[in-house]
Amino acid sequence: MKDYLRNLLKILYILKIVFRDSLSINMEVVFGRGLHSENKIPVLKYVVLRQAKKYRDFGYKYRLNKKTANGSMIITF
């Protein structure tokens, strides 16, 4: 799963370079009920944010828009 998210962020980063700031990409990450959690926060959230922060070094910006009631979150790149 970690490699999948890393590859997805790479693709989004390339699209962002090609289309410059005219491209606004929303990605929704949904957490399943059976997912392991750490301090009652799904682990996948940490993985996604850690990968997104990694690409901040390349000037790649993201914003966590909102957290929904069912545990998903929407990230705008």
CATH number for the domain that contains residue 12: 3.30.1370
Give the pLDDT confidence score for residue 53 in this predicted structure: 64
Segment 7-63, tens digit of pLDDT: 777 777 677 667 665 656 555 555 444 455 566 665 666 666 666 666 665 555 556
Give the pLDDT confidence score for residue 32 in this predicted structure: 47
Give the pLDDT confidence score for residue 14 in this predicted structure: 72
Give the pLDDT confidence score for residue 43 in this predicted structure: 60
Residues in contact with 62: Cβ distance below 8 Å, sequence separation at least 6, in sequence order: 52, 55, 56, 75, 76, 77
Phi/psi at 36 (nearest 5 deg)? Answer: -65, 150
Cα(23)–Cα(21) distance, rounded to whole angstroms? 5
Give the pLDDT confidence score for residue 34 in this predicted structure: 45
Domain holding 21, by residue range, is 2-76
Q: Please give the structure tokens belonging to residue 51.
A: 């990968």
- What single letter denotes the amino acid at residue 48? V
- Number of independent structural domains in the chain: 1
What pTM was computed for the model? 0.33
Q: What distance separates the 2 farthest-apart alpha carbons in the chain?
A: 39
